Amino acid sequence: EIVLTQSPGTLSLSPGEGATLSCRASQSISNNYLAWYQQKPGQAPRLLIYGASNRATGIPDRFSGSGSGTDFTLTISRLEPEDFAVYYCQQYGSSRITFGQGTRLEIK
């Protein structure tokens, strides 16, 4: 099973700032099949990025993903108030999907 480790656990920033979230895999992810989800309290997760760098339908271009192999990054430029949430990375390159433990992005 591929283990995903996200850092930091919590990120405190102000609206308008940029955010960088990291996801490291225990082994190389096939085809860079790495996704990012956003989850707000009481809501289901929302797919943001798939294939490491492809934005899902309707996702603003302030969200971008990068990386390959074992190291991946989600970047949010110019944080909006609605961006404060928990973010999960997920790999789907192996037959069994796994998620990271999440990064909480909170308002400073």
Question: Which residue from 4, 26, 1 is spatially nearest to 74, judged by alpha carbons?
Answer: 4
CB of 35 to another protein, least distance (A): 5
Among the listed ranges 17-25, 67-75, 77-85, 97-105, the one in contact with another protein (CB under 8 A) is 97-105
Among 11, 23, 90, 105, binds another protein (CB under 8 A): 90
Residues 65, 52 contacting (CB under 8 angstroms): yes
What is the per-residue binding string for another protein in 18-47, x denoting contact by CB under 8 A? ---------------x-x-x-x----xxxx
Residue closer to another protein by CB (options 53, 92) is 92
Is 9 near another protein (CB under 8 A)?
no
